[in-house]
Amino acid sequence: MCHRVRDDGEDSELDVELWEERIHDLSARGLRVLALAEKRVSDVHELTDEHAEEELVLLGLVGLLDPPRDEAVEAVKDCLAAGIRPVMITGDHAVTALAIARQLGFAHTERAISGREIEAMSDDELEETILDVDVFARASPEHKLRLVKAMQAQGGICAMTGDGVNDGPALKRANVGVAMGIQGTEAAKEAAEMVLADDNFATIVGAIREGRKVYDNIRKTITFILPTNGGQGLAIMLAVLAGTNLPVTPLQALWVNMVVAVTLGLALAFEDAEPDIMSRQPRDPTASLLDLFLLWRVVFVSMLLLLGVFGMLIWLQAQGGSIELARTGAVNMLVMGSAAYLINSRYLLRSTLSLAGIFGSLTVWGSIGIILALQLGWTYLPFMQVIFGSEGLSLGHWGVILSGSVAIYLIVEVEKCVLRARGVSGQPTASGGHSGLESS
């Protein structure tokens, strides 16, 4: 639009290459560059856009610094460690976008692709490019949609952020559409699955951390509850097949299921995220919740509880105790063994043999304290003895139960150590594809 430039009050011929270099230098420093120009007109009754499209006189350039937030830099770092690939899609100049991406610490920042280059590419070419380029500049909403399709064609799970009306198709097509809550339009919010209330990229990473924690705790809870039921069910099944006395009556089994589910079973839902949760690779979205690792753990701990229940039953009967006393010891062995295994379950594969591992959760120990009080009432209160057929245990009996529970805890920790030595991760990580977070 400009053919001349004003310098010291005088107009002179515009050196386009010189000013392009200056724009490039400012953009390379991460500055957003504005060009200022003027045009003097006279005898014009109505100004239109056409008046400003030619014969302008360049006055100069202004570079605006809009540095990335510190939390955004940390968020990108967390994404890369977690196997999540951030991609910048922006309307800024390519050089500016590339400089900002480098400040943010993007993994691949060798070049940026402009909207014009995207338009010139076929879908196949864009699918090949999407894996190697992290910055797309001068991009339009239509380009966003094509980029989402390209990422998904490569097997990626794609989240896309957007705020404009025209971002709707891309937000709809993405696996997770994230609309801006402050600057976003109502159309964008309607098209998205999630709304980012503070328009802060770091909040998305925080949500990913929370989602991983919830998924982790669900797996821990399943891995804890199933062995309790498995040990109890196996004990009853073996007693029936052998034609011997049941180690646990149906009413006692109902009691165990109730107190374990209400107290111990809920404790793991409030567990904090493990320290390495954001350094794990994304899980395979097709992976089963109960994979081979968890299935092995369920069977292994079920057998340990089964041995504890039958061991207590046989030992008390060998001591000359009644069947009611033997069953009381077996039920308490099952419950307290489950309480010991609850501490193991705080970490699926990491060791809990530390002060933080054993005593680091007030919720876990609070639930153990509650279930211990319930079991003492179940064992010694007369009306409980009448209802459930229980009988009071001696201090020596409790010592054996405590020893058996500690043994179960230590055996599971040894099993974890063996699995870690064999390279088992315990996490259903994705075997292929890419996880992407598209951001603008």
DSSP calls for 32-89: EEEEEEE----S-SS--GGGGSSSEEEEEEEEEE-PPPHHHHHHHHHHHHTTEEEEEE
87 has which bridge partners? 438
Identify whether the C-beta of residue 404 lies closer than 8 Å to the C-beta of residue 311: yes
- Pairing of the two strands 135-137 and 84-89: parallel
**Residue whose token pair is 């011929």:** 13
Give the model's pLDDT for residue 435.
Answer: 53
- Is domain 2-65 in CATH 3.40.1110.10, yes or no? yes
* Domain 211-421: top CATH class: mainly alpha
Other CB atoms within a 10 A radius of the CB of residue 361 amount to 21
Return the closest-CA partner of residue 435 out of 317, 282, 305: 282
Give the model's pLDDT for residue 265.
Answer: 82
Which regions in the chain score pLDDT beneath 70? 107-109, 428-440
CA distance 260 to 338: 8
Give the model's pLDDT for residue 429.
Answer: 61
Torsion, Cα 308 310 315 319, to 10 degrees, reads: 140
CA distance 73 to 176: 22
CA distance 376 to 390: 11
Q: Is the dihedral of CA 172, 209, 80, 204 positive or negative?
A: positive
Give burial (CB, 10 Å; 0-12/13-18/19+) of 49: exposed
Give the model's pLDDT for residue 312.
Answer: 93
Give the model's pLDDT for residue 189.
Answer: 93
Other CB atoms within a 10 A radius of the CB of residue 67 amount to 11
179 has which bridge partners? 162, 195
* Domain 70-205: top CATH class: alpha beta
Q: What is the full DSSP assignment across 174-205?
A: SSEEEEESSS--HHHHHH-SEEETT--HHHHH
pTM to 2 decimal places? 0.80
Domains of the chain, by residue range, sit at 2-65, 70-205, 211-421
Give burial (CB, 10 Å; 0-12/13-18/19+) of 395: exposed
Residue type at 385? Q
Give burial (CB, 10 Å; 0-12/13-18/19+) of 123: exposed
Give the model's pLDDT for residue 431.
Answer: 47
Residues 6+ apart with CB under 8 A from 78: 205, 209, 278
- Phi/psi region, residue 384 (left: phi>0; alpha: psi -120 to 50; beta: rest), is alpha
CA distance 77 to 85: 10
Give the model's pLDDT for residue 107.
Answer: 61
Give the model's pLDDT for residue 109.
Answer: 65
CA distance 92 to 440: 10
